[in-house]
Protein backbone atom coordinates (compact mmCIF):
# COMPACT_ATOMS: atom_id res chain seq x y z
CA UNK A 1 0.00 0.00 0.00
CA UNK A 2 1.37 3.36 -1.06
CA UNK A 3 0.13 6.80 -0.15
CA UNK A 4 1.52 10.19 -0.87
CA UNK A 5 -0.56 12.65 1.10
CA UNK A 6 1.24 15.59 -0.50
CA UNK A 7 0.04 14.99 -4.06
CA UNK A 8 -3.44 15.73 -5.44
CA UNK A 9 -5.28 13.38 -5.34
CA UNK A 10 -4.06 10.89 -2.78
CA UNK A 11 -3.40 7.60 -4.56
CA UNK A 12 -3.51 4.41 -2.46
CA UNK A 13 -2.91 0.95 -3.87
CA UNK A 14 -4.87 -2.17 -2.98
CA UNK A 15 -2.18 -4.78 -3.60
CA UNK A 16 -3.70 -7.94 -5.06
CA UNK A 17 -1.24 -9.03 -7.72
CA UNK A 18 -2.80 -8.91 -11.15
CA UNK A 19 -6.00 -7.60 -9.56
CA UNK A 20 -4.34 -4.64 -7.83
CA UNK A 21 -5.98 -1.26 -8.18
CA UNK A 22 -5.77 2.29 -6.96
CA UNK A 23 -8.04 4.34 -4.74
CA UNK A 24 -7.97 8.05 -5.53
CA UNK A 25 -9.09 10.42 -2.77
CA UNK A 26 -9.52 14.15 -3.12
CA UNK A 27 -11.88 17.08 -3.48
CA UNK A 28 -13.33 17.70 -6.94
CA UNK A 29 -12.07 14.50 -8.63
CA UNK A 30 -15.33 13.97 -10.53
CA UNK A 31 -14.41 16.75 -12.95
CA UNK A 32 -11.30 14.80 -13.98
CA UNK A 33 -12.88 11.35 -13.84
CA UNK A 34 -12.43 10.83 -17.59
CA UNK A 35 -8.70 11.28 -17.28
CA UNK A 36 -8.45 8.85 -14.38
CA UNK A 37 -10.68 6.31 -16.11
CA UNK A 38 -8.69 6.45 -19.33
CA UNK A 39 -5.79 4.87 -17.47
CA UNK A 40 -7.74 1.72 -16.61
CA UNK A 41 -10.30 1.14 -19.38
CA UNK A 42 -9.80 -1.84 -21.72
CA UNK A 43 -11.74 0.12 -24.35
CA UNK A 44 -13.12 3.69 -24.28
CA UNK A 45 -16.71 2.79 -23.51
CA UNK A 46 -18.54 2.65 -20.20
CA UNK A 47 -22.02 2.23 -18.84
CA UNK A 48 -22.66 4.41 -15.78
CA UNK A 49 -25.03 2.88 -13.24
CA UNK A 50 -26.43 5.27 -10.65
CA UNK A 51 -29.69 5.95 -8.81
CA UNK A 52 -32.45 8.52 -8.72
CA UNK A 53 -30.98 10.32 -5.71
CA UNK A 54 -27.45 10.61 -7.05
CA UNK A 55 -28.12 11.25 -10.74
CA UNK A 56 -29.49 14.81 -10.32
CA UNK A 57 -26.33 15.87 -8.48
CA UNK A 58 -23.49 13.98 -10.13
CA UNK A 59 -24.44 12.30 -13.41
CA UNK A 60 -24.15 15.33 -15.68
CA UNK A 61 -20.71 16.34 -14.34
CA UNK A 62 -19.48 12.76 -14.79
CA UNK A 63 -20.85 12.60 -18.34
CA UNK A 64 -19.12 15.89 -19.15
CA UNK A 65 -15.87 14.45 -17.82
CA UNK A 66 -16.33 11.32 -19.95
CA UNK A 67 -17.04 13.41 -23.04
CA UNK A 68 -13.91 15.46 -22.39
CA UNK A 69 -11.88 12.23 -22.40
CA UNK A 70 -13.62 10.87 -25.54
CA UNK A 71 -15.09 7.94 -23.62
CA UNK A 72 -18.38 6.61 -25.04
CA UNK A 73 -21.01 6.33 -22.35
CA UNK A 74 -24.55 5.30 -21.57
CA UNK A 75 -26.36 5.57 -18.23
CA UNK A 76 -28.78 3.40 -16.29
CA UNK A 77 -30.58 5.10 -13.39
CA UNK A 78 -31.84 2.69 -10.72
CA UNK A 79 -34.53 3.34 -8.17
CA UNK A 80 -32.83 4.63 -5.00
CA UNK A 81 -32.95 2.51 -1.87
CA UNK A 82 -32.03 -0.82 -0.34
CA UNK A 83 -35.00 -2.58 -2.01
CA UNK A 84 -33.12 -2.21 -5.32
CA UNK A 85 -30.55 -4.75 -4.11
CA UNK A 86 -32.59 -7.82 -5.01
CA UNK A 87 -32.83 -10.54 -7.63
CA UNK A 88 -35.47 -8.86 -9.76
CA UNK A 89 -33.58 -5.56 -9.98
CA UNK A 90 -30.39 -7.48 -10.73
CA UNK A 91 -32.11 -9.35 -13.55
CA UNK A 92 -33.48 -6.09 -14.88
CA UNK A 93 -30.06 -4.39 -14.71
CA UNK A 94 -28.31 -7.32 -16.41
CA UNK A 95 -30.98 -7.36 -19.14
CA UNK A 96 -30.51 -3.63 -19.76
CA UNK A 97 -26.74 -4.01 -19.91
CA UNK A 98 -26.97 -6.86 -22.41
CA UNK A 99 -29.63 -4.96 -24.34
CA UNK A 100 -27.23 -2.02 -24.64
CA UNK A 101 -24.68 -4.35 -26.17
CA UNK A 102 -22.03 -4.43 -23.46
CA UNK A 103 -19.10 -6.61 -24.49
CA UNK A 104 -16.02 -7.83 -22.68
CA UNK A 105 -14.29 -4.53 -23.37
CA UNK A 106 -17.01 -2.43 -21.72
CA UNK A 107 -16.47 -1.12 -18.18
CA UNK A 108 -19.30 -0.42 -15.75
CA UNK A 109 -19.05 2.68 -13.57
CA UNK A 110 -20.92 2.57 -10.26
CA UNK A 111 -21.80 6.15 -9.31
CA UNK A 112 -23.48 6.26 -5.92
CA UNK A 113 -23.61 4.75 -2.47
CA UNK A 114 -23.36 1.21 -1.22
CA UNK A 115 -26.48 -0.10 -2.92
CA UNK A 116 -25.39 1.13 -6.35
CA UNK A 117 -21.85 -0.12 -5.85
CA UNK A 118 -22.94 -3.54 -4.60
CA UNK A 119 -25.45 -4.32 -7.34
CA UNK A 120 -23.33 -2.79 -10.12
CA UNK A 121 -20.25 -4.66 -9.01
CA UNK A 122 -22.23 -7.89 -8.87
CA UNK A 123 -23.69 -7.27 -12.32
CA UNK A 124 -20.14 -6.70 -13.57
CA UNK A 125 -19.09 -9.97 -11.92
CA UNK A 126 -21.70 -12.05 -13.76
CA UNK A 127 -22.44 -10.36 -17.09
CA UNK A 128 -20.55 -12.32 -19.77
CA UNK A 129 -18.90 -14.16 -16.84
CA UNK A 130 -17.24 -10.97 -15.68
CA UNK A 131 -16.44 -7.54 -17.05
CA UNK A 132 -14.52 -4.63 -15.53
CA UNK A 133 -16.01 -2.04 -13.23
CA UNK A 134 -15.01 1.16 -11.48
CA UNK A 135 -16.38 2.57 -8.25
CA UNK A 136 -17.17 6.26 -7.85
CA UNK A 137 -18.61 6.25 -4.31
CA UNK A 138 -20.66 9.31 -3.35
CA UNK A 139 -21.47 8.51 0.28
CA UNK A 140 -19.08 8.45 3.21
CA UNK A 141 -19.97 4.82 3.92
CA UNK A 142 -19.18 3.80 0.35
CA UNK A 143 -15.98 5.84 0.23
CA UNK A 144 -14.47 4.31 3.35
CA UNK A 145 -15.93 0.83 3.21
CA UNK A 146 -18.15 -0.72 0.55
CA UNK A 147 -16.39 0.59 -2.57
CA UNK A 148 -13.06 -0.93 -1.56
CA UNK A 149 -12.35 -4.62 -1.38
CA UNK A 150 -14.47 -6.26 -4.04
CA UNK A 151 -17.44 -7.44 -1.99
CA UNK A 152 -20.42 -7.18 -4.30
CA UNK A 153 -23.90 -8.63 -4.10
CA UNK A 154 -27.58 -8.41 -3.41
CA UNK A 155 -29.94 -9.36 -0.60
CA UNK A 156 -31.91 -12.59 -0.54
CA UNK A 157 -35.25 -13.21 1.08
CA UNK A 158 -33.30 -15.04 3.76
CA UNK A 159 -31.02 -12.13 4.59
CA UNK A 160 -28.80 -9.31 3.52
CA UNK A 161 -25.86 -9.75 1.15
CA UNK A 162 -26.35 -13.51 1.01
CA UNK A 163 -25.84 -13.61 -2.76
CA UNK A 164 -22.83 -12.07 -4.44
CA UNK A 165 -19.26 -12.34 -5.58
CA UNK A 166 -15.80 -11.12 -4.77
CA UNK A 167 -15.09 -8.94 -7.79
CA UNK A 168 -12.48 -6.23 -7.44
CA UNK A 169 -12.94 -2.87 -9.17
CA UNK A 170 -10.27 -1.52 -11.53
CA UNK A 171 -10.24 1.84 -9.78
CA UNK A 172 -11.99 3.67 -6.94
CA UNK A 173 -12.48 7.44 -7.25
CA UNK A 174 -13.53 8.97 -3.93
CA UNK A 175 -14.40 12.62 -4.50
CA UNK A 176 -14.95 14.09 -1.04
CA UNK A 177 -16.92 17.00 -2.53
CA UNK A 178 -19.76 14.60 -3.37
CA UNK A 179 -20.32 14.25 0.38
CA UNK A 180 -21.67 17.81 0.42
CA UNK A 181 -24.95 16.61 -1.03
CA UNK A 182 -25.59 14.06 1.73
CA UNK A 183 -28.20 14.47 4.43
CA UNK A 184 -26.56 14.98 7.86
CA UNK A 185 -28.02 11.75 9.17
CA UNK A 186 -26.56 9.74 6.28
CA UNK A 187 -23.18 11.38 6.76
CA UNK A 188 -23.23 10.52 10.47
CA UNK A 189 -24.16 6.93 9.71
CA UNK A 190 -21.21 6.66 7.31
CA UNK A 191 -18.97 8.12 10.00
CA UNK A 192 -19.58 5.01 12.10
CA UNK A 193 -17.57 3.02 9.53
CA UNK A 194 -14.75 5.58 9.79
CA UNK A 195 -14.47 5.31 13.55
CA UNK A 196 -14.53 1.52 13.14
CA UNK A 197 -11.00 1.60 11.69
CA UNK A 198 -9.75 3.41 14.78
CA UNK A 199 -11.48 0.94 17.08
CA UNK A 200 -10.13 -2.09 15.20
CA UNK A 201 -6.49 -1.25 14.99
CA UNK A 202 -5.52 2.41 15.26
CA UNK A 203 -5.85 4.15 18.62
CA UNK A 204 -4.05 7.23 17.27
CA UNK A 205 -6.70 7.58 14.56
CA UNK A 206 -9.48 7.19 17.13
CA UNK A 207 -7.94 9.93 19.26
CA UNK A 208 -7.66 12.18 16.19
CA UNK A 209 -11.31 11.46 15.36
CA UNK A 210 -12.36 12.27 18.92
CA UNK A 211 -10.89 15.74 18.29
CA UNK A 212 -11.91 16.21 14.67
CA UNK A 213 -15.17 14.37 14.06
CA UNK A 214 -17.19 17.56 13.96
CA UNK A 215 -14.89 18.97 11.24
CA UNK A 216 -15.58 15.86 9.14
CA UNK A 217 -19.32 16.14 9.63
CA UNK A 218 -19.35 19.88 9.00
CA UNK A 219 -17.59 19.76 5.65
CA UNK A 220 -13.93 20.51 6.32
CA UNK A 221 -12.16 19.24 3.19
CA UNK A 222 -8.82 18.47 4.84
CA UNK A 223 -10.41 16.53 7.68
CA UNK A 224 -12.56 14.56 5.27
CA UNK A 225 -9.60 13.72 3.11
CA UNK A 226 -7.57 12.56 6.10
CA UNK A 227 -10.47 10.44 7.37
CA UNK A 228 -11.12 8.81 3.99
CA UNK A 229 -7.43 8.24 3.23
CA UNK A 230 -6.73 6.72 6.66
CA UNK A 231 -9.82 4.51 6.45
CA UNK A 232 -9.01 3.34 2.93
CA UNK A 233 -5.39 2.65 3.87
CA UNK A 234 -6.59 0.45 6.71
CA UNK A 235 -9.09 -1.35 4.52
CA UNK A 236 -6.64 -1.79 1.62
CA UNK A 237 -4.11 -3.27 4.01
CA UNK A 238 -6.58 -5.84 5.31
CA UNK A 239 -7.98 -6.69 1.87
CA UNK A 240 -4.51 -7.17 0.38
CA UNK A 241 -3.73 -9.69 3.04
CA UNK A 242 -7.06 -11.54 3.16
CA UNK A 243 -9.11 -10.88 0.03
CA UNK A 244 -11.73 -13.57 0.64
CA UNK A 245 -12.22 -13.14 4.37
CA UNK A 246 -10.66 -16.33 5.63
CA UNK A 247 -9.04 -14.54 8.54
CA UNK A 248 -8.06 -10.98 9.37
CA UNK A 249 -10.64 -9.37 7.07
CA UNK A 250 -13.29 -10.55 9.52
CA UNK A 251 -12.14 -7.77 11.89
CA UNK A 252 -13.86 -5.31 9.55
CA UNK A 253 -17.10 -6.82 10.81
CA UNK A 254 -16.67 -5.13 14.18
CA UNK A 255 -20.17 -4.14 15.25
CA UNK A 256 -21.70 -6.01 12.33
CA UNK A 257 -22.82 -9.22 14.05
CA UNK A 258 -24.97 -7.21 16.45
CA UNK A 259 -25.73 -4.63 13.79
CA UNK A 260 -27.06 -7.10 11.23
CA UNK A 261 -29.40 -8.59 13.81
CA UNK A 262 -30.82 -5.12 14.49
CA UNK A 263 -31.15 -4.36 10.79
CA UNK A 264 -32.91 -7.67 10.20
CA UNK A 265 -35.49 -6.69 12.83
CA UNK A 266 -35.94 -3.16 11.52
CA UNK A 267 -36.18 -4.25 7.89
CA UNK A 268 -32.96 -2.67 6.56
CA UNK A 269 -34.75 0.59 6.06
CA UNK A 270 -34.93 4.18 7.21
CA UNK A 271 -35.72 3.34 10.80
CA UNK A 272 -32.13 2.23 11.34
CA UNK A 273 -29.46 2.96 8.74
CA UNK A 274 -26.64 0.47 8.30
CA UNK A 275 -24.07 2.79 9.86
CA UNK A 276 -26.38 3.45 12.80
CA UNK A 277 -26.76 -0.29 13.36
CA UNK A 278 -22.98 -0.62 13.22
CA UNK A 279 -22.62 2.19 15.77
CA UNK A 280 -24.90 0.38 18.21
CA UNK A 281 -23.15 -2.88 17.38
CA UNK A 282 -19.71 -1.45 18.14
CA UNK A 283 -20.93 -0.10 21.46
CA UNK A 284 -22.35 -3.54 22.30
CA UNK A 285 -19.14 -5.27 21.21
CA UNK A 286 -17.05 -3.06 23.47
CA UNK A 287 -19.54 -3.44 26.32
CA UNK A 288 -19.41 -7.23 25.91
CA UNK A 289 -15.62 -7.12 25.82
CA UNK A 290 -15.59 -5.11 29.04
CA UNK A 291 -18.08 -7.46 30.76
CA UNK A 292 -15.93 -10.43 29.78
CA UNK A 293 -12.94 -8.72 31.39
CA UNK A 294 -11.16 -8.41 28.06
CA UNK A 295 -11.25 -4.65 27.68
CA UNK A 296 -10.94 -1.70 30.11
CA UNK A 297 -14.37 -0.34 31.05
CA UNK A 298 -13.04 3.13 30.29
CA UNK A 299 -12.56 2.21 26.63
CA UNK A 300 -16.13 0.96 26.33
CA UNK A 301 -17.30 4.21 27.92
CA UNK A 302 -15.15 6.26 25.53
CA UNK A 303 -16.59 4.50 22.48
CA UNK A 304 -20.14 5.01 23.62
CA UNK A 305 -19.49 8.62 24.58
CA UNK A 306 -17.87 9.57 21.30
CA UNK A 307 -20.64 8.12 19.15
CA UNK A 308 -23.35 9.55 21.40
CA UNK A 309 -21.79 13.02 21.25
CA UNK A 310 -22.10 12.95 17.47
CA UNK A 311 -25.76 12.07 17.62
CA UNK A 312 -25.44 8.43 16.64
CA UNK A 313 -27.64 5.85 18.37
CA UNK A 314 -25.73 3.81 20.95
CA UNK A 315 -28.41 1.61 22.48
CA UNK A 316 -31.65 -0.21 21.80
CA UNK A 317 -33.80 2.15 23.85
CA UNK A 318 -34.70 4.43 20.99
CA UNK A 319 -35.94 1.52 18.89
CA UNK A 320 -39.57 0.94 19.85
CA UNK A 321 -40.09 -2.74 19.29
CA UNK A 322 -42.06 -4.26 22.12
CA UNK A 323 -41.84 -7.70 20.54
CA UNK A 324 -38.04 -7.75 20.48
CA UNK A 325 -36.28 -10.26 22.65
CA UNK A 326 -32.73 -11.35 23.18
CA UNK A 327 -33.65 -14.72 21.67
CA UNK A 328 -34.84 -13.18 18.42
CA UNK A 329 -31.66 -11.16 18.07
CA UNK A 330 -29.54 -14.21 18.92
CA UNK A 331 -31.29 -16.23 16.24
CA UNK A 332 -30.43 -13.58 13.63
CA UNK A 333 -26.79 -13.74 14.69
CA UNK A 334 -26.77 -17.52 14.28
CA UNK A 335 -27.94 -17.21 10.68
CA UNK A 336 -25.34 -14.66 9.61
CA UNK A 337 -23.56 -15.78 6.43
CA UNK A 338 -20.17 -15.83 8.14
CA UNK A 339 -21.43 -18.59 10.41
CA UNK A 340 -19.90 -22.05 9.89
CA UNK A 341 -21.38 -24.92 11.77
CA UNK A 342 -23.83 -22.81 13.75
CA UNK A 343 -21.49 -20.61 15.85
CA UNK A 344 -21.52 -16.89 15.11
CA UNK A 345 -18.21 -15.06 15.00
CA UNK A 346 -17.83 -12.03 17.23
CA UNK A 347 -15.31 -9.26 16.86
CA UNK A 348 -14.33 -8.25 20.38
CA UNK A 349 -11.59 -5.93 21.64
CA UNK A 350 -8.86 -5.82 24.24
CA UNK A 351 -9.17 -2.06 24.03
CA UNK A 352 -9.58 0.73 21.50
CA UNK A 353 -7.39 -0.21 18.53
CA UNK A 354 -7.08 -3.86 19.58
CA UNK A 355 -9.92 -5.86 18.05
CA UNK A 356 -9.83 -9.61 17.55
CA UNK A 357 -12.08 -12.32 16.15
CA UNK A 358 -13.52 -15.22 18.12
CA UNK A 359 -16.23 -17.82 17.71
CA UNK A 360 -15.89 -18.86 21.33
CA UNK A 361 -18.23 -16.45 23.11
CA UNK A 362 -20.55 -17.64 25.87
CA UNK A 363 -24.12 -17.30 24.59
CA UNK A 364 -25.32 -16.56 28.11
CA UNK A 365 -23.15 -13.44 28.29
CA UNK A 366 -24.47 -12.25 24.93
CA UNK A 367 -28.06 -12.91 26.02
CA UNK A 368 -27.58 -11.00 29.28
CA UNK A 369 -26.03 -8.07 27.41
CA UNK A 370 -28.96 -7.93 24.99
CA UNK A 371 -31.53 -8.24 27.77
CA UNK A 372 -29.93 -5.34 29.62
CA UNK A 373 -29.78 -3.29 26.43
CA UNK A 374 -33.44 -4.00 25.69
CA UNK A 375 -34.41 -3.01 29.23
CA UNK A 376 -32.44 0.25 29.16
Piece of 68-76, 153-161, 201-209, 220-228 that binds a second copy (CB under 8 A): 153-161
256 catalytic, yes or no? yes
Closest contact distance (angstroms) between CB of 203 and a second copy is 31
In the complex with a second copy, the residue whose CB is nearer, 320 or 340, is 340
Query: What is the spatial distance between Cα 368 and Cα 345, in angstroms, rounded to a whole number?
Result: 18
2 catalytic, yes or no? no
Binding of residue 158 to a second copy (CB under 8 A)? yes
Piece of 50-58, 123-131, 266-274, 303-311 that binds a second copy (CB under 8 A): 123-131
Closest contact distance (angstroms) between CB of 103 and a second copy is 5
Closest contact distance (angstroms) between CB of 332 and a second copy is 14
Indicate which residue of 58, 243, 253, 276 is catalytic.
253
Q: SS3 of 346, please?
A: strand
Query: What is the spatial distance between Cα 205 and Cα 195, in angstroms, rounded to a whole number?
Result: 8
Residue 67 CB neighbour total at 10 angstroms: 12
Closest contact distance (angstroms) between CB of 83 and a second copy is 16
Tell which one of 10, 77, 78, 125 touches a second copy (CB under 8 A).
125
Show contacts with a second copy in window 302-361 (CB under 8 A): 335, 337-341
Residue 180 CB neighbour total at 10 angstroms: 13
249 catalytic, yes or no? yes
Binding of residue 67 to a second copy (CB under 8 A)? no
3-state secondary structure 156-206: ECCEEEEEEEECCCCEEEEEHHHHHHCCHHHHHHHHHHHHHHHHHHCHHHH
193 catalytic, yes or no? yes
Piece of 124-132, 280-288, 317-325, 349-357 that binds a second copy (CB under 8 A): 124-132
Show contacts with a second copy in window 25-64 (CB under 8 A): 43
In the complex with a second copy, the residue whose CB is nearer, 7 or 158, is 158
Indicate which residue of 58, 85, 170, 249 is catalytic.
249
Q: SS3 of 289, please?
A: helix
Q: What is the DSSP letter of 49?
A: E
**Contact map string, positions 161 to 200, toward a second copy, x by CB under 8 A:** xxxxxx----------------------------------
| Per rule CB under 8 A, count of chain residues that contact a second copy | 37
- Cβ-based neighbours of 50, under 8 Å, separated by 6 or more: 58, 59, 75, 76, 77, 78, 110, 111, 112, 116
Q: Report which of 349, 357, 147, 152 is spatially closest to residue 244, judged by C-alpha positions.
A: 152
Q: What angle do CA 128, 129, 134 make, to 5 degrees?
A: 85
In the complex with a second copy, the residue whose CB is nearer, 170 or 226, is 170
Residue 19 CB neighbour total at 10 angstroms: 14
Query: What is the spatial distance between Cα 69 and Cα 46, in angstroms, rounded to a whole number?
Result: 12
Q: SS3 of 292, please?
A: coil
Binding of residue 128 to a second copy (CB under 8 A)? yes
- Residues binding a second copy (CB under 8 A): 43, 87, 91, 94-95, 98-99, 101, 103-105, 122, 125-130, 151, 153, 156-159, 161-166, 244, 335, 337-341
Amino acid sequence: VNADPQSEPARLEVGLGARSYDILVGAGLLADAGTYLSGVLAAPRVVVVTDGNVAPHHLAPLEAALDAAAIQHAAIVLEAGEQTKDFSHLQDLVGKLLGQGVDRGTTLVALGGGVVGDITGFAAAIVLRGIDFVQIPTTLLAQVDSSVGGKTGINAENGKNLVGAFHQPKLVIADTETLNTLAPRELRAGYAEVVKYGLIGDRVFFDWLAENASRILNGDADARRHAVVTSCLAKADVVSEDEHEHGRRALLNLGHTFGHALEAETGFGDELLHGEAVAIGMVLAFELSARLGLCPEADAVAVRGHLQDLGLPVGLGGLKHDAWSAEILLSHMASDKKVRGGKPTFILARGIGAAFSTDDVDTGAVRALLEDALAA
